[in-house]
Chain A
């Protein structure tokens, strides 16, 4: 376990964490304000990646493609909100889960029908290709560094919007007591459109940003969605700060566990057993973490006070 490898894996973990945060931020706010579980949020991430692939091919330019992807992802999210989600807010959680599960089935297949089952790829933009030297003899792709920095910048921005602006104040108030906010004369439906649209766009942005480094394929949002749920449960539903900390925690533990789990166990077990146990245990780590958090704090690390 050399230092260089540890550094690389830590950066990879950070990158996964940032990605999770971009998706979890929208999900946790939508849940916090509207008490609405949206399983189809992972689909927004997939749609973002597909839009990026499509627009980048059309325009032949990554930045133009990204610029077109954001409004397109936003429009698509709002369309779904008006057509389906709006009718689910007053329903109980189980019905929300099932209806949005139906949406996943439909949208995954629709994406497959439109763009085909084969993965698409998006070239890394010219300006961010290549790699930089972190320490002696260790290079890391610039694009991934840019991805981490962008994510951190968005997190900071989000922190200011939520804590320092009027809209942010309303969102926080909405997460605490929706009825009271509504009674005080705030158009809660409009507020929710804003929150939902913003969350959708962040998920779309996450998809667009990873399009150059991951393969763009149907169902790519499904597994990430589950991780995102782990994140918001650990962080406390409705809390942006919780989502941020939990995202990084989950990203790092998952990545480092998979990379070093078998090696660490080798000190305790014989090699064959260590590698098998390590491979079984590593993917379980974040769920064990979640179980531990829930055992001691059943409403997550940073519960929103109701």
Chain B
């Protein structure tokens, strides 16, 4: 990961500003192209198996939000959370449990999901952030597993098998989410909103402090920034964002189950971020799309697709450092940050 953390080097501030402006403009263009392509997906879907294509791409968008939230921790805060899928679970169970009690209002679902995600993130991070390195990875993993077992034990809500939702969430009685196309565009709009918010967040004073802590917590402490407060806030924001992704996931699948929060799912999220390019905001989106589409394609090819998928992961870690964004940067002959 160290090569994603580039430092300015010997360039003068003026050079750097010029380079950066050109780089930023080109990057913005590519990001707009990426979102434009995603916006066109429903039109292309009409040419083929519409429902199938839409459902895959809706999942891509939802996992993009989840991976984007993880990237705030991983790429900008160097906090390797191996339990991030817990928040997908919290969000989807907020939908599932409220719906089971007859409340299918999306706003209620979102409020509960946001509140529960924030609480869980704060409680677990308070402990996890006392540790560092491998202990941090392992403690987040353990908290994720803890929640998974809670899900399994909720026999009133399907236990291990999970439960099917009667219908998608309603927005104060309106069934607009029931349409797959409308749902797709709402998820896309949310992804764009989150992308812009994350962009602002990273560029803000808070984001600078977070990146400073990533590079050297001791120095940040020496100049008066207590890492814990910033890291805790980052964990909470990322948790809430992923919790919202969980609300969307439950709605997309019309199904809620503990399988959303297995440690393997957390591993998937990490892979999406790393494969796309940690520490870049477009990376997690590309990573989520690559992983989910690859899974879909390979599993259509052969039942034993994991025999191909597993080694691909190993190879991508060994040979594609910096992820897809890193590769694009290398091909284009420019550095990435």
Which residues from chain A sit less than 8 Å from chain B, CB to CB? 31, 37, 84, 87-88, 91-95, 97-99, 101-110, 113, 222, 226, 229-230, 232-233, 237, 276, 279-280, 283-284, 287-288, 290-291, 294-295, 298-300
Contacts and interface: CB of A to CB of B under 8 A. Distances in A.
B310 A103 contact: yes
23 contacts: A94-B80, A95-B1, A97-B270, A98-B274, A99-B318, A101-B267, A101-B313, A102-B317, A103-B310, A105-B306, A105-B313, A106-B310, A106-B314, A109-B306, A109-B307, A113-B307, A226-B141, A226-B263, A276-B156, A291-B142, A294-B131, A294-B139, A298-B130
A20 to B, nearest CB: 14
Closest 3 CB pairs between A and B? A106-B310, A102-B313, A283-B149
Contacts of A287: 142-143, 145-146
Contact of A298 (B135, B152, B153, B310): B135
Nearest to A227: B145
Contacts of B142: 226, 229-230, 233, 287, 290-291
Given A229-B142, A237-B135, A294-B139, A284 B149 contact: yes
B130 A294 contact: yes
B304 interface: yes
B270 A113 contact: no
A87 B318 contact: yes
Interface string B298-326: 00000010110111111001100100000
Given A92-B2, A101-B267, A284-B146, 8 more contacts: A102-B309, A105-B313, A106-B306, A108-B306, A109-B307, A283-B152, A283-B153, A294-B128
B69 to A, nearest CB: 17
A287 B145 CA distance: 8
B300 to A, nearest CB: 16
B193 interface: no
B271 interface: yes
Contacts of A300: 135
Contact of A294 (B135, B263, B267): B135
Contact of B310 (A37, A102, A226, A280): A102
**Dominant SS at the B interface?**
helix
A95 to B, nearest CB: 5
Contacts, number: 134
Given A93-B80, A102-B312, A298 B1 contact: no
A276 to B, nearest CB: 7
A108 B149 CA distance: 22
Q: Chain B contact residues (Cβ within 8 angstroms of A): what range?
A: 35 or more
B202 interface: no
B229 to A, nearest CB: 18
A93 B134 CA distance: 7
B314 A102 contact: yes
Contact of B143 (A106, A232, A283, A291): A291
A84 B314 contact: yes
Interface string B199-213: 000000000000000
Contact of B138 (A92, A103, A229): A229
Interface string B225-246: 0000000000000000000000
B201 to A, nearest CB: 22
A84 B313 CA distance: 12
Contacts of B310: 102-107, 109
Contacts of B132: 298
B333 interface: no
A131 to B, nearest CB: 31
Among A84, A94, A222, A300: residue with most chain B CB under 10 A: A94
A202 B156 CA distance: 41
B91 to A, nearest CB: 19
B82 interface: yes
Nearest to A226: B145
A94 B153 contact: no
Given A101-B267, A298-B131, A290 B139 contact: yes
A226 B140 CA distance: 11
A229 B267 CA distance: 15
A92 B153 contact: no
Contacts of A294: 127-128, 130-131, 135, 139
B314 A97 contact: no
B154 interface: yes
Contacts of B66: none
Given A283-B149, A290-B142, A299-B131, A93 B137 contact: yes
B191 interface: no
Contacts of B103: none
Nearest to B321: A95
B155 interface: yes
A274 to B, nearest CB: 13
Contacts of A288: 146
A81 to B, nearest CB: 14
Contacts of A92: 1-2
B313 A99 contact: yes
Nearest to A92: B1
A112 to B, nearest CB: 8
Contacts of A290: 139, 142
Interface in B178-232: none
Among A113, A232, A233, A300: residue with most chain B CB under 10 A: A233
B150 interface: yes
Interface in B114-141: 124, 127-128, 130-135, 137-139, 141
Given A105-B310, A233-B142, A287-B145, A95 B153 contact: no
Contacts of A110: 307
A37 B137 contact: yes
A98 B310 CA distance: 10
Among A31, A222, A299, A300: residue with most chain B CB under 10 A: A299
Among B130, B138, B270: residue with most chain A CB under 10 A: B138
